[in-house]
Amino acid sequence: MSARLLIGAALLALAAPGTAQDFAITNATVARGDGSEPVRGATVVVRGGRVVAAGAGVAVPPGVQAVDGTGKWVTPGLFAAMTALGLSDADGVDESNDAGARGSPFGAAIDVSPALNPSSQRVFSRPTGSIFAGQGAVVDLGADPRMVIRPRAFQFVTLGEEGGRIAGGSRVSAHAVLRNALREARQYGADPRLTATGRGPEIETGDDVPVDPRLIDSPSQREDVLLTRFDAAALVPVVRGTQPLYVHVERASDIRAVLALRSEFPRLKLVLVGASEGWLAAREIAAAGVPVIAQALVDLPASFEQLAATQSNVGRMVRAGVKVAIGGLAGTTGDQPRNLPQFAGNMVALTRVPGATGLSWGEAFAAISSVPAEIAGQGGRAGVLATGAAGDIVIWDGDPLEVTSTAERVFIDGVEQPRDDHQRGLAERYRDLDTSDLPKAYDR
């Protein structure tokens, strides 16, 4: 799931919501997150939970508390393009893991919002029993129980090798399942009888079209229908283009097959996820105006659909004009959003490797801030220091794309966040290696 994640925000604390603070940070190195390079000796002003100004020559308004940022870096909050945070307490304990629903009769209709836990140690679900994983949400990590910013923000489906396995053992079957589902959703949404109101429970279609499920319960309506009515209703916004469809594919031929879906479903608002071989189809992706969420450092053929994987994949797609956010399904930035700066930093380092294609500092930081925010429909509000944007501010003790740098202070909507979290607590507990602090299992 797409998640507005501020590095250092505490997941454990559920303090009462604070009030937005008016403050300014002066004399700092400021990165706006919009793709531009950092500006030294700059100022950021936040009032009423919103960014008022950011840049060189910005004056501090009267009555606004000024914080000296000499030697510090100031950035917008990071935005993790996809993460399972909030859906699992322990991956190995099935009862606490809501990231997948292998035995569910539903796929597209699954909505992660009710299961999200702001106190979780670990926001999108993964496809297991269906190629459709369901609907992800946009969340933030503020220290309050109101985690969800936007529910049902996108629909997620997997094709390629994983989709083929789930759908019966072949890519052919996975594509047939997807196309059939989209056709059923289009027919479902076009039936005028489904706009009746006041005749029973309604299914939300995403664009204020009320749907009475009892109107499709006749035998004629059930003939050759593979989706449940709730799954069909959940896909109506997708075929109408009001809800993005995130599609996991890796190899170039699968990417081209996804782009071709628009010939039959022209309103699809596609987002490619994975795209290890995206650089081979970069011109087609750019021409289609489809954004990509890609892992930064995939350079080994972990599967046959990744034979052309290269660390230059992201850089080459960006050079071709593709909008690319750094993210992934699992293993790197997918389940560990705190690693985002490290992988973005590696993209910068690639510019110094002969024959490789990396990103400039500004491009790399945008790939973990403003670009994923734009893909998630939060453009101009999150991931950027621009007038009117959310007052999501991080003060770092150094270059945030260096692994030795640490976030010292974090503000979400202008409210400073607590710095106590599970990881910091463990570090403090074992800092002095006092054996009296060891769990009972380690007494001997």
How is residue 363 written in tokens? Answer: 């491009």
pLDDT for position 425: 76
- What single DSSP character describes residue 273? E
Average pLDDT over residues 427-438: 69
The verdict on residue 332 lying in a domain is yes
The verdict on residue 440 lying in a domain is no
- Dist CA 117 CA 145 (whole Å): 8
Residues 311 and 224 in one domain: yes
Residues 37 and 67 in one domain: yes
The verdict on residue 206 lying in a domain is yes
How is residue 143 written in tokens? Answer: 């220290």
The pLDDT of residue 429 is above 90: no
The verdict on residue 20 lying in a domain is yes
Residues 60 and 103 in one domain: no
- Closest to 290 (Cα-Cα) out of 327, 262, 319, 331: 262
Residues 37 and 112 in one domain: no
Residues 222 and 297 in one domain: yes
pLDDT digits (tens, 9 = 90+) for 188-208: 887 755 534 333 334 444 444
pLDDT for position 85: 62
The pLDDT of residue 214 is above 50: no
Residues 247 and 396 in one domain: no
- Dist CA 394 CA 403 (whole Å): 16
Structural domains counted in the chain? 2
Q: What whole-number percentage of the chain has pLDDT above 70?
A: 73
**Helix (H) or strand (E) run with residue 326 in it:** strand 324-326
Q: Helices 229-239 and 171-190 meet at what angle, rounded to 10?
A: 90
- What single DSSP character describes residue 390? B
More confident residue, 331 or 398: 398
User: Helix or strand or coil: residue 403?
Assistant: coil
pLDDT for position 18: 60
pLDDT digits (tens, 9 = 90+) for 218-256: 444 444 557 788 888 889 999 999 999 999 999 999 999
The verdict on residue 274 lying in a domain is yes
Question: Phi/psi of residue 412, each to 5°?
Answer: -120, 120
pLDDT for position 147: 76
- Closest to 46 (Cα-Cα) out of 29, 33, 58, 34: 58
Q: CB count, 10 Å around CB of 75?
A: 30
The verdict on residue 372 lying in a domain is no
Return the CATH number at 410. 2.30.40.10
The verdict on residue 444 lying in a domain is no
Residues 94 and 63 in one domain: no
The verdict on residue 441 lying in a domain is no
Residues 136 and 58 in one domain: no
Query: Strands 324-326 and 3-4: what pairing?
Result: unpaired
pLDDT range class, residue 327, cuts 50, 70, 90 = confident
Average pLDDT over residues 150-166: 91
Q: CB count, 10 Å around CB of 170?
A: 12
The residue whose two tokens read 């946009």 is 138
Residues 236 and 109 in one domain: yes
Whole-structure pTM value: 0.81
- Dist CA 380 CA 331 (whole Å): 29
Residues 88 and 73 in one domain: no
Residues 162 and 241 in one domain: yes
pLDDT digits (tens, 9 = 90+) for 258-277: 999 999 999 999 999 999 99
Cβ-contact 112, 104 below 8 angstroms? no
- Dist CA 95 CA 150 (whole Å): 26
Return the CATH number at 133. 3.20.20.140
pLDDT range class, residue 23, cuts 50, 70, 90 = very high
Question: Phi/psi of residue 262, each to 5°?
Answer: -70, -15
Residues 194 and 277 in one domain: yes
Domain with 57, as residue range(s), is: 3-79+379-428
Mean pLDDT of the chain, nearest integer:
80
pLDDT for position 8: 32
Which stretch of 66-80, 148-162, 216-230 has the lowest confidence by average pLDDT? 216-230
More confident residue, 210 or 73: 73
- Dist CA 98 CA 244 (whole Å): 22
Q: CB count, 10 Å around CB of 145?
A: 11
- Dist CA 148 CA 117 (whole Å): 10
The pLDDT of residue 329 is above 70: no
